[in-house]
Amino acid sequence: MAKYMLIMRATDESLATMMATPFDEMLETVGRFNDELIKAGVLVAAEGLDDPSQGVVVDYSGETPVVTDGPYGETKELFGGFYLLDVASKDEAVAWAKRMPSMPGSKCEIRRVPGIDEFPQDNEWIVKERAWRERTGQL
């Protein structure tokens, strides 16, 4: 099994369509999909994000980090939420993404999340992280 992150991206148009959708309808649609993921045993985490205008951006381009209020960039550069799935392959992650509720024009980026076993196990920081993951029940 491998973890894959499904990153939801919107456009101005798909965001407008989503905002026009009744909230209860959206909860019903997303809830049904989430329930399918749970029943299949592949859901690790799923979160939607607050409006980009409520966030900040830390820019590391200069000598010292500069913090500016959001939003930053165009809508298509932002992501609105994610699913983290533990599935057998990228193909399975793609199959779930194709079933994910979405608005026309939106996109889903799929990225594999490397596991801790893929890093050098004799590195002191990996040893510390592994111990933390074991303590917190993540391994």
What does 52-110 look like in DSSP terms, one character per residue?
GGG-EEEE-SSSS-EEEES--S-GGGSEEEEEEEEES-HHHHHHHHHHS---TT-EEEE
Highest mean pLDDT out of 78-82, 104-108, 124-128: 124-128
Tell me the pLDDT tens digit for each residue of 20-68: 889 899 889 999 999 999 999 999 999 988 877 788 888 899 999 999 8
Average pLDDT, stretch 113-137? 94
- Please state the CATH superfamily assignment of the domain spanning residues 2-135 in this structure: Dimeric alpha+beta barrel (3.30.70.1060)
pLDDT value of position 19:
82
**Residue ranges of domains in the chain:** 2-135
- Mean pLDDT of the chain, nearest integer: 89
Average pLDDT, stretch 68-95? 85
